[in-house]
Structure 1
Amino acid sequence: MEFHALTCLECRLSSPPPPLFSNPAPPADYIENGRLYHGFRKGKYMLPIDEVIAANSVHGSCVLLGGWLEDEKDRMDIFHKFFLVARGEQLHSVKFIPNYDGPRVLDLGTGTGIWGIDMADEFDRKGLKGDVVGVDLAMIQPAQINPNISFHQRDIESPWHGLALESWDMIHIRMLAGSIGSWPELYQKVFRHLKPGYGWLEHVEMDFHPRCDDGSLPRESAVNVWIEKLYEATRSAYRPLAYNAETRSMLERQGFVDIQEQVIKIPLNPWPTDSAMKDIARWYNLALTQGLEAMTLAPLTRVFGWTKDDVERLVADVKREICSRKVHVYNNIEGAVRSVYGSVAGGNLATNGPDTTACGSQDFGSSLPNALLRVTQTDTNMLR
């Protein structure tokens, strides 16, 4: 919430902090390079927030002329499905004790809210009277939602007014790399707001660094150029996208204990022979190819002065490479998909801890649960 300066010192001292659960009128979103970006805390989040909208229409205060906006919200939801497939259809790895009646879950950087909505549905299915709160810079979540979930526009790098200390059973973070200036500061806030003794943090990230074990990806490849430029640009903007290998030590310094890290290898296209890994790769390829422009456009145009045409040419080259089965490249799910689970010291009353049976370190030859959906041929016609 923004404030105008007050001339009265007494007023300044007596004014209470703004409550979390009172959303201010958001600043206007804006169009840049043909994509829609959030207006609240302008520039902090460098990905667009648009959806498919007809030409010559009005979106908020933005008039859209002569074209269609890309569907970034759809990409977020595809990534959500990809994570479910890659992690054995698990929304989370923390096991809530069945007779524990009221877990409270906070989803940081909730995006479209799809993870939180699924989490609230899970509480209903299991008969738990839990509730979920999602916060984000952009209010792009659906208006019609279950009563046990709510969404609020907040900057998680600002003070957490209205979020009670030591009150959350689990805090969830997924794919916020590239949006956070100081992970230690964020982890400190998370630690202070989890219930002592049994609060859990679950943090899942993609490590986009291209890995290749057989030399099929040349050093001068478009994929390598793309990630090097993207890492450099986000680092220059003080919001590094690269996975931080010091994640575990950062959590330990904030007081987290029982930290577990998991790595899942994710092929960029269905080149592995294992059928389960092919399914995972199809979903990841769909999510990544749909999101390449969104991930790249603002960092490279704002930091390096590239034109949109420059970005589109690089993105086209990257798509061709990652859709070729001759290129045996993979990324990692890290808690950067290493998933990191950290409990607050002092016991574990509300949860049984993380369930690692379905989402431990996976190799391309390993088997995964069978509930894996297949992408249609229409979605994968670029793969060859």
Structure 2
Amino acid sequence: MNKKDDLQSSAATSSADRTGQIAADPSFQDDGDSALGDDIAPSTSSIASTILEYRKLHGRTYHNYKDVEYWGPNDEQQNDGLDLNHHKLYLAFDNKLFFAPLRNPQKVLDVGTGTGIWAMYENRVCHDGHMSTPKHQTNLVVSDFATEFPEAEVIGTDLSPTLPNWVPPNCVFELDDASQEWTFPDNTFDYIHIRFMAGCFKDWTRLYSECFRCLKPGGWLEHQECGFRVVSDDGSLPPDNAFNEAANLFAETGRRSGHTTEVIDDDNWIRWMEEAGFRNVQKKAIKTPMGEWPADKKWKEVGLFNRITTETALEGYFLYKLTRVMGWEYAEVQSWLARVREALRNKAYHGYSTW
């Protein structure tokens, strides 16, 4: 039996299934964000001093690993955004880190681990398990994969070094470029996790092929990805809203650089996974409101996290892309970002994005 036949249940693209319209709260008022604060704004290498000498662009820092092109900053502000996004998804997914039907996984890979918060939560939390970043304090307690599966070996890879104060014995972080040929042997992992990597790869079929090669027979790939377009079900968003412009710009920068951002659009990722050899590809989708407009308490909190996450990370999403790819001036970028932030805070907009 060849490997393709043996991997009958190998891929899960995920998020909890929520297709109904989210009811808006007619009494919604902006009474501040007390919960999160008001200040928004092919080889595997060990960490060397040169890697820590980050590139700088308009006051933001970026990785310095092998001159690999990646648009996201790696500074504290962007890391705050990544961690807030993790909380948002943990809440939206009903306290789930994954949706694949895992059974006692022994070896797990987190591709593009970022701050490492999915793999190992300790490095950016208080001792009581609550989130703590320099600008935000929340009451949302989350888990991490290494804690949920203490018998599993969890490996997180990224272009930027993850430097936690403490790492559990079953978790390790490695510096690696996932767009190149992987150094892991065939049939290594029971589960591979990818999240929020749109715009990071030129060849997604190649990435998924490496996942397929490195998964054990019967192993699972789970890719959680965001649709960048914000829409509404009740017509509250005008056609010329700043969200549409942002989504169009983000997609255009991906087309110009060759790093597509349109991963979930037209089910591209399903096609790429199947081209890589995966079978039993499952798709789930969840609406994540943008702002505190929902009537339901849970979705109101998800919307709060979504808005604050986006405001925190917004400049990082676009600064490199608009200045280096589109040729904008820095002042032009800041003026446009102000327009997007204004839309984020517009209480009349009942928008949502889809994971």
In 2, are the aligned partners of 1:50 and 1:72 still within 8 Å (CA)? yes
Deviation at 1:234, TM superposition (A): 2.1
Q: Radius of gyration: which is bigger?
A: 1
User: Would the aligned equivalents of 1:49 and 1:140 in 2 still touch at CA under 8 Å?
Assistant: no
Partner of 2:100: 94
Give the CA deviation at 1:212.
2.1
| Structure 1 residue aligned with 2:126 | none
Q: CA deviation at 1:242?
A: 2.5
- In the alignment, the residues of structure 2 paired with residue 170 and residue 283 of structure 1 have an alpha-carbon distance, to the nearest angstrom, of 28
CA contact 1:133–1:149 (8 Å) conserved in 2 = yes
The CA deviation string for residues 68-104 of structure 1, in whole angstroms up to 9 with x for no partner, is: xxx111111111111101101101112433xx4x611
| 1:311-330 equivalent positions in 2, closer than 5 A | 311-330=333-352
Alpha carbons 1:268, 1:323 under 8 Å: kept = no
State the Cα distance separating 1:309 from its structure 2 match.
Answer: 1.7
Unaligned runs of 5+ in 1: 1-16, 52-70, 334-384
Cα deviation per residue 1:248-276 (whole Å; 9 max; x = unaligned)?
12212222122211010111112122222
| Residues 225, 96 of structure 1: alpha-carbon distance in 2 compared, 3 angstrom cutoff | closer
Residue 35 of structure 1 and its aligned partner are, at CA, apart by 0.3
Report deviation, 1:113.
0.6
2:209 corresponds to: 188
Displaced runs of 4+ in structure 1, greater than 3 A?
20-27
Residues 227-258 of structure 1: per-residue CA shift (max 9 Å, x gap): 21121112211112223422212212222122
- 1:123 pairs with 2:149: yes
Instruction: Tell me how far 1:279 sits from its aligned partner.
Output: 1.4
CA distance in 1, matches of 2:163, 2:112: 11
Whole-angstrom CA distance in 2 between matches of 1:160 and 1:308: 37
Q: Which moved more, 1:314-323 or 1:177-186?
A: 314-323
Q: Contact between 1:110 and 1:136, CA under 8 Å: does it hold in 2?
A: yes
CA distance in 1, matches of 2:273, 2:180: 19
Partner of 2:288: 266
Amino acid in the other structure paired with 1:251: M
Counterpart AA for 2:55:
Y
Q: Report the secondary structure of 2:189's partner residue.
A: coil
Partner residue in 2 for 1:47: 72
AA aligned to 1:215 is G
Given candidates 231, 239, 261, the residue that maps to 1:219 is 239
Displacement after TM superposition at 1:171 (Å): 0.3
| Equivalent residue runs for 1:134-283 within 5 Å | 134-161=156-183, 163-196=184-217, 198-244=218-264, 245-283=267-305
How much has 1:137 moved relative to structure 2? 0.5
Do 1:23 and 1:153's aligned partners in 2 also have CA atoms closer than 8 Å? yes
Q: SS of the counterpart of 2:226?
A: strand
AA paired with 2:281?
Answer: I
CA positional deviation for 1:21: 6.6
State the match for 2:82 in structure 1. 76
Paired residue secondary structure (1:317): helix
Corresponding letter in the other structure for 1:47: G
Provide the C-alpha distance between the structure 1 equivalents of 2:92 and 2:244, rounded to a whole number of angstroms.
24
- Summarize deviations over 1:186-223 as a string: whole Å, max 9, x none: 00000010001x20001000101121233322222222
Q: Where in structure 2 are there 5+ consecutive unaligned residues?
A: 1-41, 121-143
CA contact (8 A) 1:111 1:141 kept: no
TM-fit CA distance, 1:23:
5.0
Question: Which residue in 1 is equivalent to 2:54?
Answer: 29
Give the paired residue count. 288
Equivalent in the alignment of 1:61? none
CA distance in 2, matches of 1:280, 1:270: 8
Q: Which amino acid is the alignment partner of residue 54 of structure 2? A: D
**Contact 2:162 2:173 (C-alpha < 8 Å) held by counterparts:** no
Q: Which residue of 2 aligns with 1:3?
A: none
